[in-house]
Amino acid sequence: MSEFKLEAIKCKNCGSGLMVEINDFVTYCKNCGSGFEIVNGMLQPIEVNFAQPARPAEGEIVYKPFWILKTNVTILERTSSGGFLKNLFGGHDGAGGAIKFYIPAFRLPVDNMREMASAFTIKDPVASPQKFNVKVTGFTYGREDALKIAEFLLISFEAEKSDTMKTFRYDIKVDSYEILGIPFYKLSNGTMRDAIIGLSV
């Protein structure tokens, strides 16, 4: 009969215990601010930061994780009208540019996921993220999931304002993956509202 051995997961930088939930892809050390992505059972360093609340509200604040994908997108072919992507390319509707995608890393209904990812990506509302001594868990989606969602958003951005979209080919290169903790208020009705833009989930 096989024996099961449980081992505490400790921060590779300061030795403090790390809080990890079942199926978490990322963990964060509240003691020293180090972030780690769990890859094949090993801890790989990853940048983890937090946004400050920008909107006041009643309720306990909890931090939910978002993947931040800093990308460079090249439009290879487009046959459509509309061109909504210019909002993401700094106001020009050219052949591409840099896009910073905000992708929720925690479980959400599909409609809420798309709404929240779209709103944060378009607004890019977090200018100066910081290190906080707070808990952030619930990392349901890994970096591969985040990239797939980012590509889905890219296509939906182009299609949203187009009367017709026959062809849309692109190349997306990820320059870096980071984690950002976004503050949410836990409301009395059981929902949560983010403290940056004000969306409820």
With residue 159 as reference, give the H or E element that holds it. helix 143-160
Which of 193, 110, 198, 201 lies closest to 149 in space, CA to CA?
110
Q: Residue 5 falls within a domain, yes or no?
A: no
Q: Residue 113 falls within a domain, yes or no?
A: yes
pLDDT at 138 over 70: yes
Q: Residue 168 falls within a domain, yes or no?
A: yes
Q: Residue 187 falls within a domain, yes or no?
A: yes
pLDDT at 107 over 70: yes
pLDDT at 63 over 90: yes
Give the pTM: 0.86
Q: Residue 14 falls within a domain, yes or no?
A: no
The domain of 171 spans 26-191
Looking at the 3D structure of the chain, how many domains does it have? Answer: 1
